Structure 1
């Protein structure tokens, strides 16, 4: 099989073939590395090329298989790791010149879990400064481009991951999400992801000097971005494997108990004070019909306290960020990043003092109301981005730019605040004045039921198709 075909294959197909001996891990990784070196100069998605060490590991996997060593579920699958997570021997830069020499001494749990499953890391992907923008640009590594075109953002903060996987640079991409950083890049690039729920994927950076703030711990999760939904299903059991370094990890199996009868799905187009683009509305209609035809019972129902939870959650996060991260942002962030943070503080006035503690405590109130709602509706179909993908660096354009990119993302950071899992899947290839662009919807699920979300995403993908097929046919 030619290298051209290998780098285009899904993680599921590659794992099946390498485990069966139909193709070597070395050939698979060589194809991915070749693709990375061919297209990454235009995209700047990967900022650390690990192709040489990846080839060495691939040869080791082939030799181990030949000796009869059991293969993992991701045997030989090329993956990328975001530069804000520790990988032994490499800098955890987090997009900051000040951290360019911050070499990690050990792997983070997500890196260990992927490699134990047989995955091969071919590169490290870009992120904005402090990984705190829905855009991917920084003074150390530069700006990442969207493979759909330079006229649209790749999203953030895992924009390097989203652009890489959709361009065929690895079959899976690691990312993380504190307010939308898995889902923004998935939506912007036409990929699929599921933001795991709180405690689902073990997390910790061995290089960190202090524990993160309580809200950062509660809202930030690790995950993967893929080209196809079945690749999420393949990889999720591996990434949720326990690690004792995360004392709050929830060691539940990937698949939960079955639900009697057809699954009820709440459906909403409510966007409060924000406009919903007609093409995004059409994507929601398509997703609704796909779920209905697949046997789900979809009912219009407004989720509880969504707007309030979103506002409270992000203002509380900003309160913690300003107190704990603020001095570092001022000292090590660029002038541009500090201007963006000033706008964050204006649009999301940080809580302070006793009010900050009260609003952090109120998180349980919102989560409880949603828990009751999800007891009736195990899944909720919602918008994600309310408009088609924004142009690059839109969040640098003052109040209007920040409002479009982040202010309107109420269906994003609200889920982080409540710790709920949420998937993002394309539901329409829109023909817009700026060209064809994928548009995604969000599916929220019961706590620790990522499996239900993935199943529903697959029903939508079966109707709409895989966006990477459209993108790669156009050529890069």
Structure 2
């Protein structure tokens, strides 16, 4: 192999080369650090790191291999985590200035599991404040840029992770997603991501809102959020998900999942539904064209594809459910008078964009009603998915767009007056970015985001591949077989 070509390999491949003795963890880690030091000043993706410690960990991994000790399937592989995950001895600020010196003294469950699998931690990747934006910028670490075009956003809130993986600063990153925070950055940066079924991966040690002394008296954020990997190959998603999923005594909602690899699928028996846009949220023509070409490739493999003209559920009802659940759970501790004032000032916005909906008044009865509405939507969508192995649709309405500066904050929520332009026409920032993704935080389905090409500006475009609830592994293996059959390579950023 050419010098440092291995920086562009998948985590699965690099792990095999290290285990076989063709590369050392120290050799790989030194090259990775050199790439970060050379190029990350422009991207600003890996924002919290201890490179001396990383090299010590790499040397230790090599010494263990010499003794015949293999910690796990990621032995000696350098990876990163979203800044909001607790890692013992590292700052965990969630990009929120009041917590810029906050350091955690334990590992999140996902961190512990990946360490036990042999991975070594390069550092943490950048986020927006309290993970509450679909761009990545904060006053502690600054702005993260898209490595394909530094004038554009990598997305958020896992924007630093997607940018790091796309830039080959990390072989694997673990992010989180409450409305598209894994899928949108993957789409904008040209990498893979998995948003698992809700509760498939433990939440313990993930801090969307850090606390300085003792935990809050109750945990309010109980729904919608998911935790999963960003990677340059579908094999890496399978390996990472196999490692991080499964029951955890610190998170009683997480069940054990069946990890059995299915037999090779007969593609002639696959039935896949697809949409190129929602009727009320138009996407750029280039997005539709790429999805159409992708579907044509599926057809050429003998797969039955069915175009869906109308989303199976009322999108307004799904968006309203998302908005009210977010409001009820994240803002439950806010004084009633402040909630009332915010409701008055955002009424017009709520009418126009259902994802801005607020649960007013915030009563037990109203909260139970919105949870029941969600359950009914899930049951109905499950019946739709019974007829299909997968459902394909856009991730967002455009490729990554130029950075947009927020105008103000209402509470911790950024407000954007400047629009995102879709084929020259303005669209509301939140509708343009998250309308296609937050549907599946409500409906809970697993979603693989996969890159399918580059647009005329050489920016990546991806699709959401939606699976049946709790069939995460089956979805991953279906996508893996499709990628193999279509010989689809992830585009690599060239600095």
TM-score calculated relative to the size of structure 2: 0.86
| 8 A contact 1:89–1:104 mirrored in 2 | yes
CA distance in 1, matches of 2:171, 2:71: 18
* Structure 2 unaligned regions, length at least 5: 339-344, 408-415, 421-425
Structure 2 Cα separation of the partners of residues 430 and 262 of structure 1: 32
Alignment of 1:68-467 (within 5 A): 68-205=68-205, 209-210=215-216, 216-255=221-260, 262-301=269-308, 302-321=310-329, 323-324=331-332, 347=353, 348-352=356-360, 353=362, 354-393=365-404, 396=407, 397-398=416-417, 400-401=419-420, 404-408=428-432, 409-431=434-456, 435-458=457-480, 459-460=482-483, 463=486, 465-467=488-490
Change (3 A) 1:36 1:149: same
- Give, in whole Å, the separation in 2 of the partners of 1:10 and 1:306: 39
Contact in 2 for aligned 1:426/1:461 (Cα 8 Å)? no
**How far apart are 1:266 and its partner, in Å?**
1.1
1:412 match: secondary structure = coil
Structure 1: give runs of 5+ residues left out of the alignment. Answer: 331-339
Change in CA separation of 1:325 and 1:265 when aligned onto 2, cut-off 3 Å: farther
**Cα distance change of structure 1 residues 124 and 462 upon mapping to structure 2, 3 Å threshold:** farther
Q: Report how far residue 464 of structure 1 moved.
A: 7.1
> Which stretch of the first structure deviates more once superposed, 418-427 or 444-453?
444-453
How does 1:42-81 map onto structure 2 within 5 Å? 42-81=42-81
Q: What does the per-residue CA deviation read over 1:81-101, in whole Å, with 9 as the maximum and x for residues that have no partner?
A: 111110111111000111112
Give the 3 Å change call, closer, same or farther, for CA 449–211 of structure 1 in structure 2.
farther
Give the distance between the partners of 1:291 and 1:457, measured in 2 at CA.
11
The CA deviation at 1:151 is: 2.6
CA 1:230/1:394 → structure 2, altered by over 3 Å: closer, same or farther? Answer: farther
Moved more, 291-300 or 253-262: 253-262
Deviates more, 1:251-260 or 1:266-275: 251-260
Q: Indicate if the aligned counterparts of 1:19 and 1:71 stay in contact, CA closer than 8 A.
A: no
1:173-195, CA deviations, whole angstroms, 9 ceiling, x for partnerless residues? 11110100000110110111111
RMSD, aligned α-carbons? 2.6
Deviation at 1:466, TM superposition (A): 2.8
Decide whether aligned partners of structure 1 residues 393 and 73 sit closer, same or farther in structure 2, where only a CA change above 3 A counts: same
Shift, 1:105, TM fit: 1.2
CA distance in 2, matches of 1:285, 1:211: 50
**Most deviating of 344-353 and 359-368:** 344-353
How far 1:319 sits from its partner (Å)?
A: 2.1
Instruction: Using the TM superposition, give the Cα deviation of residue 79 of structure 1 relative to its aligned residue in structure 2, in angstroms.
Output: 0.6
> Is the contact made by 1:162 and 1:189 (CA closer than 8 Å) also made in structure 2?
yes
CA drift at 1:76: 1.4
Q: Secondary structure of the equivalent of 1:174?
A: strand
Q: Cα 1:108–1:294, aligned 2, differ >3 Å: closer, same or farther?
A: farther
**CA shift in 2, pair 1:342/1:94, >3 Å:** farther
Instruction: Return the offset for 1:7.
Output: 1.7
- 2:392–2:465 contact (8 Å) kept in structure 1: yes
- 1:77–1:119 contact (8 Å) kept in structure 2: yes
CA deviations on 1:265-312 (whole Å, 9 max, x unpaired) are: 111224122222111011211221232333432112344215134312
Count of matched residue positions in the alignment of Structure 1 and Structure 2: 457
Contact 1:366 1:418 in 2 (8 A): yes
Deviation at 1:221, TM superposition (A): 1.1
Q: Alignment partner of 2:470: what SS?
A: coil
Asked if structure 1 preserves the Cα contact closer than 8 Å seen for 2:418 and 2:429, the reply is no
Structure 1 pair 324–454 and aligned structure 2 pair: CA distance change class (3 A): same
Aligned partner of 1:468 in structure 2 is 491
Q: 1:222 to 1:394 in 2, by over 3 A?
A: same
In 1: Cα distance, 2:300 partner to 2:405 partner: 38
> Structure 1 residue 450: deviation in Å?
2.1
Rounded to whole Å, the distance in 1 between the matches of 2:350 and 2:485 is 42
Please say which of residues 272-281 and 189-198 is displaced more in the overlay. Answer: 272-281
Please give the alpha-carbon distance, in whole angstroms, between the structure 1 residues aligned to 2:167 and 2:348: 33
How far 1:58 moved relative to its partner? 1.2
Q: Deviations over 1:140-187 (max 9, x none)?
A: 111001001123211000100011111110111111101000001101
1-structure distance, mates of 2:32, 2:2: 12
SS of the counterpart of 2:168? coil
Separation in structure 2 between the aligned mates of residue 151 and residue 456 of structure 1, nearest angstrom: 35
1:337 is matched with: none
1:417 Cα deviation (Å)?
A: 1.2
